[in-house]
Amino acid sequence: MNASQDSAVGERAAPRGRAGAARSAGAGRPESRVAMVRRARKINRVLADVFSYAHPELDFEDPYQLLVATVLSAQTTDLRVNQTTPRLFAAYPTPEDLAAADPAVVEEIIRPTGFFRAKTKSLIGLSAALRDEFGGEVPGRLEDLVRLPGVGRKTAHVVLGNAFGRPGITVDTHFQRLVRRWRWTEESEPEKIEAAVGEIFPKKEWTMLSHRVIFHGRRICHSRKPACGACPVAHLCPSYGEGETDPEKARKLLKYELGGQPGQRLKPPADYPGKPAPAAGP
């Protein structure tokens, strides 16, 4: 982490006593709906400041590439997808090309992403559907996208929000974990989480909210050991203390650009403060 990034996170991380006191004060009485919504919106504002450069962490140049990359991202890292898709898109630049591909060849290309047989079936199937039903173009409606093989609401919202500018909430594993830690909802099913969080924030915020929450989950609020002592929203978090609270130890848990390491994109946006990820080896 460089000095400016260290300051951006550190200045907003509450002292341990303050965060602990906030948690204890909230433990004695239920939080009202109004208070929860205010707290949730404060968290979003802080994250918007800390992660002003938040963005989709998949490399893509058009809606089709984003759709394919998002399908490939299931059960693997965005970095692994980004290292795999250049070869895939070079071989099959259009839906028509991929629809007519030899499955064995596609499987070999995408093998590094895992579950390559099922993913190959989905990619060839959705490409054929785009060719046959949508003139080779990715549709810009949720109801059309979720009809495509291998495409659910999460994938559809990623595509709609980032390729078409149509707001959507992306409920991935990071998003699910954080909204429950922050007690925005007690729901556990993605579609119900999506609906519950959608009631808290204006629709125009949904896509960027998703990016900020996911960035925070990947970099600070980890699943097994959250970096509570380096968290910019510690004073607003009812789950403070589940992770490392010592500031120095917590800073060592920060990942990607906050930890001084490359991000997940080989071609990150111009305002990304970290290093580009390395391309796949030979």
Model confidence pLDDT, tens digit, residues 11-58: 555 444 444 434 433 456 899 999 999 999 999 999 999 999 999 999
CA distance linking residue 13 with residue 246, whole number of Å = 11
| Cβ 173 vs Cβ 193: under 8 Å | no
Tell me the C-alpha to C-alpha distance, in Å, between residue 266 and each of 36, 207, 235: 38, 22, 34
CA distance linking residue 187 with residue 195, whole number of Å = 10
Maximum Cα–Cα distance across the chain: 62
| Residue 186 neighbours by CB distance under 10 Å | 10
pLDDT of 272 = 98
pLDDT of 70 = 98
Catalytic site includes residue 271: no
CA distance linking residue 195 with residue 214, whole number of Å = 17
Q: Where residue 6 falls among pLDDT bands split at 50, 70, 90? A: low
For residue 60, pLDDT over 60 is answered with: yes
| Cβ 153 vs Cβ 175: under 8 Å | no
Mean pLDDT of the chain: 92
Task: Say which residues have a Cβ less than 8 Å from residue 142's Cβ, sequence separation at least 6.
Answer: 153, 156, 157, 160, 168
HSE at residue 128, side-chain half, CA atoms within 13 A, is 13
For residue 273, pLDDT over 80 is answered with: yes
Residue 267 — φ and ψ, nearest 5°? -125, 75
CA distance linking residue 279 with residue 79, whole number of Å = 9
pTM for the full predicted model: 0.91
Q: Where residue 121 falls among pLDDT bands split at 50, 70, 90? A: very high
Residue range 157-173: mean pLDDT, rounded: 97
pLDDT of 206 = 98
pLDDT of 18 = 44
Q: Where residue 9 falls among pLDDT bands split at 50, 70, 90? A: low
User: Which among 59, 78, 119, 154 is annotated as catalytic?
Assistant: 154
Catalytic site includes residue 102: no
Q: Quick check: helix, strand or coil at residue 163?
A: helix
User: Which among 172, 249, 252, 271 is annotated as catalytic?
Assistant: 172
Residue 44's Cα: distance from chain center in Å?
15
Query: Would you state the torsion angle of the CA atoms of residues 53, 54, 57, 59, taken in this order, to the nearest 10 degrees?
Result: -50
pLDDT of 281 = 75
